[in-house]
């Protein structure tokens, strides 16, 4: 079977990126915002792997970097959960609109 | 370029002016907290130094310095360029020593010293004792600077300083609203006159191309071959400025109210020194004034009107200090019209120089007896605790020293020989007889009135009938510091007439003749008449004064209300100036100027309210702005690089 063109994969990752961005700006639930951030990170991941496979088939540099991104995303998720727990303790809610005290 | 011209052996002259200034600074800064009661002694000692230097200067000037052809020449010991704006306009600190300035420094320092000593006793126990002496030092410094100043602008600076000192001293008891009002009135009236003074200075400086007296004297021959109209206008404006400070009609309204200040202040400022500043000013520029016949006529009439008006009002006043205030105004009127007494139809007559000399001589003698009168009044008020004549009476038994001094001063002011006032007044009247017979008649009448109202005051206080219960203790309780100046000034009132001031301070050398013979008969006669009339009415208690008042009731009421001049001023200021100019100006300030500022603030607040929503506190909004910015930058860069 013929290969999927590179552009298709890039469009997919761009679409995922913007879906993640939309979710980050729109969702009220903090955990759902976290899920959108993960989506953004993973879209970057797809980009790395795609470029590695299509442009530099013999090398593994892109895949190495993907592994890094996965590890960092996991660490960042842990920190984000800790922040959410602190926010919950202060505002008794995980609605991001509840934490609006730094306003005019 | 300029270089400092200080004649080294006369450098001590600067000390005359600077010692009182040092007193002001020292006592003003430390007097209240640190020196307290010693402030009086410090001020007095500094002024004693100044007096000694002044007397030494006078001795040196009149015996050795600068005599050419028998006429004393001006000496310029110091010239310090200070504010040089251009080669024409420069305000220098320079000193001129000529007969009138040397005479004035002697008068100012001696009278100021007497007041300093007197105040040691009079103002004892005052909370702000140090401040009082600081203000006295400031005044003395300003007055000395005024009379020694060679540059007209520097004179104007000292002029204003004298006005400030007067304001501070009149309003010394600032918890009394009447004193505060009087201080404001004095300052505002004189400030208004000073506007005209300033314009006059500028005109004069423009025409004469310089602001130094020396420069003006040098240019006199070529400038004034014929009277120059612009200079005449400048001189009139300068005279108006002098008239304000010297309380001449119609700018005299502040002087009676200025009696709210402490009595030694009245003695110093409003009798002997500050109020003669206007006379000094005309004398300083006399060589310009004599060229302008119409200006001299103005001076003559303003002087004689002031003298007469004040004398008439003084006959009706019951407050001792008010009588003395009007008396001062009257005597200054004498000095002023004497300066104007020149006969332009017969310019070669020797008597034309009498006016100037007589005026200066009267300034000299007047300082002594007027200061003495005020200080005696101070002692009387101190003992009786009241200013009104009705609370006094029969005091000659309780205060023999004050009685004697007051009597001497009254005889001096009435012009009875051999007391001081006789000599100076005779010269004034002789000069006026020579210049204008009508004015001479008015002056003679005023001399008689002077004797009358002064002896009315004398008899009412020391004879008449003893008032009940006011005087508890007699003169014995008065400290020596209050008696010594009385003695010294009384000696001055007796002997000052024998000092040949009119020969020393004159336009063209010693006078050829002194009018103490035939021409003296009419004035002395009319003065004796005035004294006898006052004695007849006021010596023994009777209803004669009441009957006299009833006989002249209309005129009496007019004079007792000071001819309603104050009311006229209030009408003009309140109804016309305040309503016509003040109110519209206030409206403009409140509605337009403030409105503009308030409008700006309101617009700012509205804009702020509209855009405050940007800071919503919501993280997602901030994230949106962030990415919007990135998007914008991306578009920008793509646009830039393709």
d(CA A93, CA B235): 90
Which of A24, A101, A103 minimises the CB distance to B623? A24
Q: Distance between CA B47 and CA B30 in Å, rounded?
A: 18
∠ CA B431-B433-B436, nearest 5°, is 100
Q: What pTM did the predictor assign?
A: 0.81
Residue A103 lies in a domain: no
How high is the pLDDT of residue B148? Answer: 92
Q: What DSSP assignment string belongs to B232-280?
A: HHHHHHHHHHHHHHTT-TTS-THHHHGGGS-HHHHHIIIIISGGGHHHH
Rounded distance between C-alpha atoms, residue B497 and residue B604, angstroms: 77
Strand B71-72 and strand B67-68: pairing? antiparallel
Rounded CA separation B544/B43 (Å) = 48
Q: How much is the ipTM here?
A: 0.88
pLDDT value of residue B474: 66
| Contact in structure between B163 and B194 (CB atoms under 8 Å) | yes
For residue A82, what is the domain's CATH number? 1.10.287.3510
Does the residue A99 lie in any domain? no
The alpha carbon dihedral of B447, B449, B450, B455 has a sign of positive
The pair of three-digit structure tokens given for residue B73, joined into one six-digit string: 């020449």
The answer to whether the Cβ–Cβ distance between B612 and A21 falls below 8 Å is no
Helix (H) or strand (E) holding B639, with range, is helix B619-641
| Least Cα separation, residue B627 to chain A (angstroms) | 9
List B388's β-bridge partners, or say none. Answer: B319
Strands (E), B13-108: 67-68, 71-72, 75-84, 90-97
B168: left (phi over 0), alpha (psi -120 to 50) or beta: alpha
Residue numbers in A near B618 (CB within 8 A): 96-97, 100, 103
- Pick the closest to residue B338 from B410, B241, B425, B438 (CA basis): B425
Interface residues on B facing A, Cβ-Cβ cutoff 8 A: 612-613, 615-620, 623-624, 627
Residue of B620, B625, B630 to mutate for A, most A C-beta atoms under 10 A: B620
At residue B331, the pLDDT reads 95
Residue A102 covered by a domain: no
Which positions in chain A have a beta carbon within 8 angstroms of at least one beta carbon in chain B? 21, 24-26, 96-97, 99-104
Helix, strand, or coil here: B82?
Answer: strand
A24 chain-B contacts, CB cut-off 8 A: 620, 623
Per residue in B470-503, is it b (16+ CB within 10 Å) or e — as a string?
A: ebeeebeebeebbbebbebbbebbbebbebbbbe
Alpha helices in chain A (DSSP H): 6-26, 30-55, 61-91
C-beta atoms of B618 and A100 within 8 A: yes
| Domain-embedded: residue A63 | yes
> Considering only CB atoms, which chain A residues are within 8 Å of B615?
102-104
CA-nearest residue of chain B to A27? B620
For each successive 10 residues of chain B (642 residues), what is the average pLDDT?
48 87 91 82 92 89 68 78 80 87 93 94 86 94 93 93 94 92 92 94 84 80 66 91 92 91 90 88 89 89 94 91 94 94 78 86 93 93 83 81 92 90 90 89 94 92 74 71 90 87 77 76 88 86 79 84 87 87 92 94 95 88 92 94 84
Domain membership of residue A100 (yes or no) is no
Contact B443, B415 (CB under 8 A): no
Q: Which residues are CB-neighbours of B310 under 8 A, at least 6 positions away?
A: B252, B326, B327, B329, B330, B333
Beta-bridged to residue B80, according to DSSP, are: B93
- Residue B630: the pLDDT is 94
The whole-number pLDDT of residue B552 equals 81
Distance from CA of A4 to the nearest CA of B (A): 29
Residues B624, A102: C-beta atoms closer than 8 Å: no
Cα–Cα distance for residue pair B325/B265, rounded to 1 Å: 12
pLDDT (tens digit per residue) in A20-76:
999 999 999 999 999 999 999 999 999 999 999 999 989 999 999 999 999 999 999
For residue B79, the 8-state DSSP code is: E
- Residue A96 belongs to some domain of the structure: no
The nearest alpha carbon in chain B to A101 belongs to B617
Give the pLDDT band (50/70/90) at residue A100: confident
The dihedral built from the CA positions of residue B63, B65, B70 and B72, taken in this order, carries a sign that is negative
- Contact between A104 and B613 using a beta-carbon 8 Å cutoff: yes
By CB atoms closer than 10 A (0-12, 13-18, 19+), residue B143 is buried
**Is residue A71 domain-resident?**
yes
The C-alpha R_g of chain A, in whole angstroms, comes to 18
Burial state string for B27-59 with b = 16 or more CB within 10 A and e = fewer than 16: bbeebbeebeeebbebbbebbebbbebbeebbe
Task: Provide, as residue numbers in chain B, all residues whose Cβ is less than 8 Å from the Cβ of A97.
Answer: 618
Q: Which residues contact B67 (CB under 8 A, 6 or more apart)?
A: B73
- First CA to last CA distance, chain A: 60
What is the model's pLDDT at position B2? 33
Residue A98 resides in a domain: no
Closest residue by Cα to residue B96 from B47, B42, B149, B164? B149
- In chain A, the number of structural domains is 1
pLDDT at B227: 61
Name residues whose C-beta falls within 8 Å of residue B461's C-beta, 6 or more positions apart in sequence.
Answer: B320, B380, B389, B392, B393, B395, B406
Q: CB B639: neighbour CB atoms within 10 A? A: 8
From residue A64, how far is each of A10, A45, A51, A70, B304 by CA, in Å? 19, 11, 13, 10, 116
Rg (CA), chain B: 30
- Selected for mutation to probe chain B from A25, A96, A98 (highest B CB count within 10 Å) is A25
Q: What's residue B577's pLDDT? A: 86
Domain residues for A31?
6-91
């Amino acid at each position: 079977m013929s290969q999927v063109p590179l552009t298709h994969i890039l469009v997919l990752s761009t679409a995922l990126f913007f879906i993640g961005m939309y979710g980050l700006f729109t969702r009220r639930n903090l955990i759902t915002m976290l899920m959108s951030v993960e989506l953004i990170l993973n879209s970057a991941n797809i980009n790395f792997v795609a470029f590695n496979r299509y442009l530099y088939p013999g090398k593994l540099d892109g895949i190495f970097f993907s592994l890094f991104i996965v590890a960092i995303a996991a660490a960042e998720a842990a920190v984000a959960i800790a922040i959410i727990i602190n926010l919950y303790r202060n505002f008794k809610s995980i609605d991001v609109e509840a934490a609006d005290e730094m306003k005019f | 370029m300029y270089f400092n011209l200080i004649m080294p052996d006369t450098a001590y002259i600067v000390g005359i002016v600077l010692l009182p200034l040092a007193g002001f600074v020292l006592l003003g800064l430390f007097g209240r907290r640190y020196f307290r009661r010693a402030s009086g002694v410090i001020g007095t000692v500094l002024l004693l130094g100044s007096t000694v230097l002044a007397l030494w200067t006078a001795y040196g000037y009149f015996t050795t310095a600068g005599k050419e052809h028998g006429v004393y020449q001006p000496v310029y010991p110091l010239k310090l360029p200070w504010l040089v704006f251009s080669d024409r306009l420069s305000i220098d600190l320079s000193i001129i020593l000529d007969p009138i300035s040397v005479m004035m420094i002697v008068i100012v320092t001696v009278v100021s010293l007497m007041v300093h000593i007197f105040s040691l006793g009079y103002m004892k126990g005052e909370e702000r004792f140090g401040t009082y002496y600081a203000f006295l030092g400031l005044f003395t410094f300003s007055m000395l600077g005024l009379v020694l100043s060679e540059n007209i602008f520097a004179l104007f600076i000292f002029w204003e300083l004298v006005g400030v000192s007067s304001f501070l001293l009149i309003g010394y008891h600032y918890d009394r609203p009447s004193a505060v009002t009087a201080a404001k009135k004095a300052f505002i009236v004189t400030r208004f006159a000073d506007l005209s003074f300033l314009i006059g200075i500028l005109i004069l400086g423009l025409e004469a191309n310089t602001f130094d007296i020396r420069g003006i004297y040098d240019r006199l021959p070529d400038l004034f071959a014929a009277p120059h109209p612009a200079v005449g206008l400048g001189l009139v404006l300068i005279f108006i400025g002098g008239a304000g400070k010297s309380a001449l009609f119609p700018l005299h309204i502040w002087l009676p109210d200025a009696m709210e200040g402490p009595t030694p202040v009245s003695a110093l400022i409003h009798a002997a020194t500050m109020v003669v500043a206007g006379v000094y000013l005309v004398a300083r520029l006399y060589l310009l004034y004599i060229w302008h016949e119409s200006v001299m006529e103005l001076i003559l009439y303003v002087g004689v009107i002031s003298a007469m008006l004040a004398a008439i009002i003084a006959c009706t006043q019951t407050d001792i200090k008010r009588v003395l205030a009007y008396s001062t105004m009257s005597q200054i009127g004498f000095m002023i019209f004497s300066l104007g007494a020149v006969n332009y139809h017969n310019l070669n007559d020797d008597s034309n120089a009498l006016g100037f000399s007589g005026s200066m001589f009267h300034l000299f003698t007047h300082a002594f007896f007027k200061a003495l009168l005020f200080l005696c009044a101070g002692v009387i008020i101190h003992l009786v605790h009241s200013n009104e004549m009705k609370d006094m009476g029969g005091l000659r038994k309780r205060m023999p020293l004050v009685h004697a001094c007051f009597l001497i001063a009254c005889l001096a002011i009435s012009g009875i020989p051999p007391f001081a006032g006789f000599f100076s007044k005779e010269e004034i009247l002789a000069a006026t007889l020579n210049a204008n017979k009508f004015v001479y008649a008015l002056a003679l009448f005023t001399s008689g009135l002077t004797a009358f109202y002064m002896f009315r005051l004398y008899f009412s206080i020391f004879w008449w009938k003893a008032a009940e219960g006011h005087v508890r203790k007699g003169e014995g309780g008065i400290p020596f510091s209050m008696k010594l100046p009385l003695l010294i000034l009384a000696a001055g009132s007796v002997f000052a007439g024998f000092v040949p001031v009119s020969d020393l301070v004159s336009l063209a050398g010693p006078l050829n003749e002194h009018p103490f013979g035939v021409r003296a008969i009419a004035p002395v006669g009319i003065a004796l008449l005035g004294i006898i009339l006052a004695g007849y009415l006021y010596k023994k208690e009777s209803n004669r004064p009441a009957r006299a008042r009833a006989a002249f009731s209309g005129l009496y009421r007019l004079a007792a209300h000071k001819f309603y001049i104050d009311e006229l001023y209030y009408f003009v200021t309140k109804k016309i100036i305040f309503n016509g100019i003040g109110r519209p100006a206030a409206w403009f300030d409140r509605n337009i100027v403030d409105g503009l500022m308030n409008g700006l603030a309101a617009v700012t607040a509205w804009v702020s309210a509209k855009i405050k929503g940007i800071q919503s506190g919501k993280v997602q909004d901030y994230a949106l702005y962030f990415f919007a910015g990135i998007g914008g930058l991306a578009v920008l860069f793509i646009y830039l690089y393709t």
